[in-house]
Amino acid sequence: MLAALPCLVSACLVAACASTATGSGGTGSGGTAPSGTGPGGSGPVAAGDVAASPAALRVSPAASRATPRASQQPSAAATPLAGITVGIDPGHNGLNGTDPSFINHLIWNGRESETCDTTGTQTAGGYTEALFNFNVARYLRAALLADGARVVMTRTNNHGVGPCVDRRAQILNDSGARVAIDIHADGGPAWGRGFTVLEPVADGPNDHVIGSSERFGRDVRAALLARTSMPVSNYYGSNGVQFRNDLAGLNLTTIPKVLIESGNMVNATDAALLTSPRFQRQLAAALLAAILAFLGK
């Protein structure tokens, strides 16, 4: 079983690390980045940890894991998400391709059977979606912690297999999160560019969060347009939005959630952005802004 990420303690806030697990489905895949471990390299991260740095998006990963002195702790006014749990599902996992029998076994997605997960897509240069997804999730997690949130992630590293998309949904549902984001990138036609926000369709389990998920989707779309250079998709969805009824992560959610296809890894222009750490941090900052807007913070 994967170990949870270490718990950081501040002088202002003491938080115990809780264990959680995995989470969510989508159309893309790929990725790697430094972090903790979990079962098979795919275990969950419970974030009762305190923010490592109020400037988490502008510091190195090592710096963002350091425990600041009491004098450096953010004030209550600087932690708008204190007491709030946010869920993040970095789609796919770095070693999904090594265990096809597990990844291809069927699960119930709320409407029909689908495979446990996929490998995801990649750029022409071999940069995987799983790596992209995890890097953006790591930046977003650091920023959320800096704002006082408790963060639950469905996987803690990019060198594991799974978890399955239904299990990812359950982890986030069980986390007490007020909102969650599934992070992906797409593998579309080479000529196509842009991001698409995937939103759920009512199917029973998710009925009571359809309206709130659509509102969160509008916040995500607006934040990406305002804070990144990625345009809305010109090949998928309508004006940057697509409703999906065939993804476990959206069908099974009981909390407000959308899935972001952050760009097209097969398109050379999008790929140059998606593989850039600068853009990944920019995207994480946009997602943070969307979460704050959704929560009225």
Q: Give catalytic residues, as residue numbers.
A: 261
Residues 258 and 199: beta-carbon distance below 8 Å: yes
Cα–Cα distances in angstroms (integers) from residue 279 to residues 123, 183, 254, 283, in the given order: 15, 14, 30, 6
Please name which of 29, 288, 18, 281 lies closest in space to residue 158, comparing C-alpha atoms: 29
Q: What is the 3-state secondary structure (H, E, C) of 15-67?
A: CCCCCCCCCCCCCCCCCCCCCCCCHHHCCCECCCCCCCCCCHHHCCHHHHHCC
Nearest to 262 by CA among 295, 225, 292, 289: 225
User: Which amino acid appears at position 206 of this protein?
Assistant: N
Q: Which H helix or E strand runs over 117?
A: none
What are the counts of helices (DSSP H) followed by strands (DSSP E) for the chain?
A: 8, 8
User: Do 195 and 217 meet the contact criterion of CB atoms below 8 Å apart?
Assistant: no
- At residue 230, what are phi and psi to the nearest 5 degrees? -80, 125
Tokens encoding 83? 């007491």
Element (H, E) at 219: helix 210-227
Contact by Cβ (8 Å): 128, 94: yes
